[in-house]
A = this chain, B = another copy of it.
Amino acid sequence: MNRASKEVKESPISKQAIGRFPYYLKFLNELNRDHHEHISAATIAASLQLYEVQVRKDLAAVSRSAGKPRLGFPVAELIDDIKRALRYDNLDQAILVGAGHLGTALLSYKGFSDYGLEIIAAFDTKASLHETEVNGKKIFPLENLNGLCRRLNVKIGIITVPADAASGVCDLLVGSGILAIWNFAQTHLSVPENVLVQDENMAASLALLSKHLAEKN
Binding site for B on A (CB under 8 A): 15, 18-19, 21-23, 26-27, 47-49, 86-88, 92, 100-102, 104-105, 108-109, 111-112, 115-117, 155-156, 163, 179-180, 182, 186-188, 190, 194, 196, 198, 200-214, 216
Contacts and interface: CB of A to CB of B under 8 A. Distances in A.
Given A196-B209, A208-B18, A87 B163 contact: no
A159 to B, nearest CB: 12
A187 B48 CA distance: 9
Contacts of A88: 207
Among A112, A117, A204: residue with most chain B CB under 10 A: A204
Give the secondary structure class of A's interface: helix
Contacts of A203: 22, 115
B49 A188 contact: yes
B101 A207 contact: no
Contacts of A205: 182, 198, 200
B216 A194 contact: yes
Contacts of A48: 188
Contacts of A15: 208
A32 to B, nearest CB: 15
A116 to B, nearest CB: 6
